[in-house]
């Protein structure tokens, strides 16, 4: 795990690509006109509260949205990017693995319409997915190929 995930970094929030075998967990955003990207598929995560570290923010968001306790050991990749909503600030993108059992134990919260597993190949090409999240996940895939 990258050390900055436990640092008091100045960042806006965290998004996480949760992998279950060869699929990625996606959430369908609410269909409300007052939010960015209504009715589009996205990844779990959200804004920082108080002085949270990226790891604390990630763990809180995954708990609030999915009812899952995400352990540090689940994180396999992370990178800092410009925030999607505020290019002058930073955001953190994380890739983590969860088991099929964890997926089946999800207790979906009240943010979003539904969740599902989407094959990785579909996620990176699908219309209706927030494009910046697709690009960030592609960075992970490219890095993974270089490491192998």
Domains of the chain: 3-142 (3.90.79.10)
Residue 5: its pLDDT value, please? 94
> CB-based contacts of 73: which residues, under 8 Å, 6+ apart?
none
Note the pLDDT tens digit of each residue in 62-113.
999 999 999 999 999 999 999 998 889 999 999 999 999 999 999 998 888 9
| 109 three-class SS | coil
Q: Which two tokens stand for residue 33?
A: 């006109």
Note the pLDDT tens digit of each residue in 123-136.
999 999 999 999 99
Cβ proximity of 19 and 26 under 8 Å: no
Contacts 24+ apart (CB under 8 A), 32-39: 36/85, 37/130, 39/113
What is the chain's mean pLDDT, rounded? 94
**Residue-wise over 31-69: b if at least 16 C-beta within 10 A, else e?**
eeeeeebeebbbbbbbebeeebbbbbbbbbbbeebbebe
C-alpha 42/C-alpha 101 separation (Å) is 22
Question: How many other β-carbons are positioned within 10 Å of the β-carbon of residue 17?
Answer: 23
* Phi, psi dihedral angles at 37 (to 5 degrees): 55, 55
Q: Which two tokens stand for residue 89?
A: 């600030």
């Amino acid at each position: 795990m990258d050390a900055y995930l436990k640092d008091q970094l100045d960042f806006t929030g965290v998004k996480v690509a949760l992998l279950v075998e060869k699929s990625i967990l996606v959430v369908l955003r609410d269909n409300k006109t007052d939010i960015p990207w209504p009715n589009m598929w996205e990844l779990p995560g959200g804004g920082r509260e108080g002085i949270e570290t990226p790891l604390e923010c990630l763990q809180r968001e995954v708990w609030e949205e999915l009812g899952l306790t995400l352990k540090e050991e689940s994180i396999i990749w992370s990178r800092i990017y410009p925030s999607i909503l505020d290019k002058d600030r930073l955001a953190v993108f994380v890739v983590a693995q969860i088991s099929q059992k964890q997926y089946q134990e999800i207790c979906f919260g009240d943010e979003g319409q539904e969740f599902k597993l989407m094959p990785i190949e579909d996620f990176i090409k699908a219309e209706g997915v927030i494009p910046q999240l697709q690009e960030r996940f592609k960075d992970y895939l490219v890095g993974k190929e270089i490491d192998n």
